[in-house]
Structure formats: structure tokens, C-alpha cells
Amino acid sequence: MKKLSFILFLSFLILTFFSCRDDYNYESASKPLRFSKDTVMLDTVFSTVRSETYVLKVYNQQNDDVVIPRIYLEKGSSSQFKINVDGNPGNSSNLNSFQNIPLRAKDSLYIFIEIAPQTVSTSEALADEDLLFITVGNTQKVKLLSLVEDAEFYFSKSGTKEITSDLVWNNSKSKVIYGNLKITNGAKLSVSEGTKIYLHKNANIIIDSGSQLNIDGSLNHEVLIRGDRHETKYDSLPGNWNQIYLANNSSGKINHLLIKGGNNAFYLEENAHLTIANSKIYNFLYGGIHSVGGNVEGKNLAINNCGTSDLIVEYGGNYDFIHCTLANYWYLNAGAGYSVYLSNSYQKSGEIKYNKLKASFKNCIFWVRNYNSLYLDKNVHAPFIYTFDTNLIKNTSNGINIETDDNFINTILNEDPLLYKTGYSDCLLSLNLGSPAYGKGNVNYAKAIPEDINGISRTSDPALGAYQE
């Protein structure tokens, strides 16, 4: 028994000794290394804001254990990139350079890469650098690339940054909003063409009572509003920020805007006014435009992929839409996915309120992934006035009898408009060849908006929707 115990103890010592050895015979790598990618493309970042972490794998293709004599960043300690090699961070002390990195036969090494950009002197700058690998008689490179946007940040420790005098934003710097940006005291926020506005998670732009929002983009130089996460996976997702909030008696005038990826694009309180033209509203958790007793005039709008409805109207108000494409191919959850939801009532804190609704839709397209593009919630306690004149509509199963309802005039019913691209990451609601929307618009309505969202004339043979072709 004692002899067996001694043998077991000796075996344990031998195993422990060899398993803990770190004196393998490593030789300098003499054959080229292999990499998981030859270029690491880091997403666009804002100046002074660190990126997320990216991974590069380095493979030893030899049958022997090797050391890599040197791995380093081309610009040394002045590099904007940060690397971590096999658990060891680069810094000013080691000049972002690593020597004699061991790598077992047929094994791999992880290198973690970030960018911590400095302030840039232009609106955008390319960060371009090589990560170099020195082996025996050979130098290999992996390109590191990132676009750095110069940015102006709006935030407050209180959670709300208040602007009490007129403010003008142009495209010289991107605007990044944390928390709430509140335009108040009758001030006006004016946004010029080409400006990029990014909102952090749960952020809002609030236009207070008596204040104004004026977005004046142009064809090919539209204003962009979206979440502040640049990574591709976030670009097409809803819920990355909250909404633009128009308070009671505030106003917004919008032209040539691309807005995407929040909870609501616009939320209107009672008596708020929104005029919006030549704009695209994509990928919102609830609605593209959500109005509670507000007033909206829409022209040449393209809206798609909203969980509840492209247009949500509660508690009435006044609405006039001409040449708009309200598509909804929402499929991320069990949302209703309507084009238009109209109601003259509103429930809050257990109380139901009623208000007059007046809405008209002319030369528009309403098409959805689900069965019905429309939901009309009529209540007898307030007027519910609506007109759908010369539109293409999908509606099959919710009790709206379009063929016998006098409020629907000249309707193309349940004929697929053949929209070009309807995805979350790639959306373009123009018309494919053979679309039944071609040439079906009312000429008189078209003359009121003689050019489509792309500036193409529609004064003859107007198509329905925001796009003439």
C-alpha cells in the first residue's frame, strides 16, 4: 500500500513539473504568418470617443513552436490605435511594440484592436496605419482603418441640456446628443443641408412650447438623424434612441431628411404643427410620426418598417398627406405593422378623451407585410372626417369596406405596388417596372407637388407615392 502511494505521489510530481514548464524550444518564426483578415475596418467613430474592440487572429502555420520577434504599430506611441497582444496592452512605455511573442505549433494568437481618436481638423479624417509583424527575413502587414468624424457634443449632468436662444447647426461638425436636448424659451433650432445628428441610447430632441425646429436639407445633401452606434449591425435596428418631441404649440418644418432607428421619429403633442417634405423615415420601434392631437402636413414622404404604424394618430387633429409612400414590412416582433392608424380618442391615466379628427390622403401608396394597411378607430363622441382619394391600398380583413365606403375614391385595391427595396438595411421605396402605381395619380394633386422626392417631374402621367419612377 505504501509502495502504491509513493508511485502515485511520484507520478503527480512528474505531471505537475511538465505541465508547468515554460521552457519549450521556441524558434523565431521563419515562415509567413496567416491572419484572419488582411485589413481591419473599424467603424466610424467620433473624435475623442473610443471605439468598440475588434479582433485579429494570427495563425502559426509551422509544425514547430515559434516566437514572433516583433509585433508593433507603425506610428508607435503616437498611434491613435490601441492594441492588446496575448493579454498585454500597448502603451507609451512599450511604444506599442511587443517582442518575442510565443506561439505554439498550429495555434493562434488573439490581438485586440481599438481606436482612441484625437481631435481632427476637418469634418472627417481617415485613420490609416499598419500593424507590422517581423519574422525571420520577412515583414508582414495588416492594415488598420477607421473614419473619424469631428463632433460637437451636447449633454448635461442634469440629463437635459437647455438651449434658450436661436441655434444654427451646419455640416462642419457632427452633432452628438446624450440625454435630452431641449429647445426652449421660444428659441429656434435651424439645421442646414448635409448635417449629421447622432443620438445616444434613450436620447431626445425636445422642441418646447413656442419653440421651432427647422431642418433644411437639399437633394443629394439631406440631413441625417440616427443613433450614435456606427457599427453596421446597429444601422438597421430600431430603438437606438428615443424621439423628436414637439410639445404643445411648437412647430417643425422639415425638408430632405433621412431619419432612422429610434422609438418614434416624431412625437407631437396637442396643437403641435409639423410640415415635412421630401424625407425618408425608416426603422422605428413604434411609429414614424406619432401624433396626439397634433397637425401634420406631409409631402413626398417615404416611410417603412415601424412596429405599430408608419403614422399613428390619437386624439384627432388635422392631417394632409399627398404623394407619400407608407410601406410597412415590419417583422422584428408581433407589431401591428400598419401604414396608418387613425383615432379620435386618447386614453391616459384611465381617462378617455375625444377630439375632432380631419385627415386626407391623396395620390399615396399604403402597402404592408400584414393583411391590412389601415386601422380606423372611430368614436361617436367626436367627429371623424377622413378622405382617401386616388391611392393604392392593401386592406383585406379588418371590416373596412373600401369598395362601398364613399370616403374612399378611385382606389387601387390589393395590387402589389412592386416597391424596389424594403429591407431594414437597404430601403428604397421607388417603383419596379410593371408597378400598378405608374401613371395612376390625379394630375391636379400632382401639379401641387410638381416634383417627386428625387426632383423628377410628375406633371404628366404622375405615379402614386413619393417616387415618380
Query: What's the CA gap between 446 and 464, in Å, rounded?
Result: 9
Cα dihedral: 329, 335, 336, 342 (round 10): -100
Q: Tell me the pLDDT of the chain averaged across its residues.
A: 92
Tell me how far apart the alpha carbons of residues 222 and 45 are, in angstroms, rounded to a whole number. 21
**pLDDT of 297 over the 60 cut:** yes
Instruction: State the pTM of this model.
Output: 0.86
Contact 303, 327 (CB under 8 A): yes
Q: Binning pLDDT at 50, 70 and 90, where does residue 310 land? A: very high
Q: How far apart (Å, rounded) are the C-alpha atoms in residues 179 and 211?
A: 19
Res 130: pLDDT: 97
For residue 280, the cross-strand partners are: 258, 302
CB atoms < 10 A from the CB of 247, how many?
20
Which of 134, 112, 13 shows the shortest CA–CA distance to 54? 112
Percent of the chain with pLDDT over 90: 83
For residue 312, the 8-state DSSP code is E
- Model pLDDT for residues 419-440, shown as the tens digit of each residue: 999 999 999 999 999 999 999 9
| Cα separation, 137 vs 130, whole angstroms | 18
- Specify the pLDDT at position 93: 87
The angle subtended at Cα 312 by Cα 309 and Cα 316, nearest 5°, is 155
pLDDT at 11: 46
The confidence band for 8, taking pLDDT boundaries of 50, 70 and 90, is very low
pLDDT band at 170 (very low <50, low <70, confident <90, very high): very high
Residue 121: predicted pLDDT: 75
**Per-residue pLDDT, 246:** 98
**In which band, very low, low, confident or very high, does the pLDDT at 3 lie, cut at 50, 70 and 90?**
very low
Q: Which of 18-32, 132-146, 225-239 has the lowest mean pLDDT?
A: 18-32
Q: What is the per-residue pLDDT for 367? A: 98
* 14 pLDDT more than 60: no
Kindly provide the residue ranges of all beta strands, DSSP E only, lying in 93-220, ordered along the sequence.
Answer: 97-103, 108-115, 124-135, 138-149, 151-154, 160-163, 167-169, 174-177, 180-183, 188-192, 196-199, 204-207, 212-216
Residue-wise burial string across 26-56, b where 16 or more C-beta atoms lie within 10 A, e elsewhere: beebeeebebeeeebebbebbbeeebeebeb
What residues are paired with 203 via a beta bridge?
A: none
The pLDDT tens digits of the residues spanning 16-72 come to: 444 444 445 678 888 899 999 999 999 889 988 888 899 999 999 999 999 999 999
- Residue 157 pLDDT: 87
Q: How far is CA 24 from CA 31, 105, 451, in A?
A: 19, 11, 75
Q: What is the DSSP letter of 408?
A: E
Phi then psi dihedrals of residue 234, to 5 deg: -90, -20
Instruction: Render pLDDT for 256-288 as a digit per residue (tens, 0 to 9).
Output: 999 999 999 999 999 999 999 999 999 999 999
Beta strand pairing call for 273-284 and 257-260: parallel
Query: Quick one: what percent of the chain has pLDDT higher than 70?
Result: 95
d(CA 89, CA 104): 21
Kindly list the structural domains of the chain, giving each domain's residue range(s) and its CATH number in brackets, ordered by start: 27-148 (2.60.40.10), 151-448 (2.160.20)
Q: CA–CA separation, 89 vs 109, rounded Å? A: 14
Q: Are 462 and 443 in contact (CB under 8 A)?
A: yes
**Which cell is 9 given?**
505521489
Q: What is the pLDDT of residue 25?
A: 62
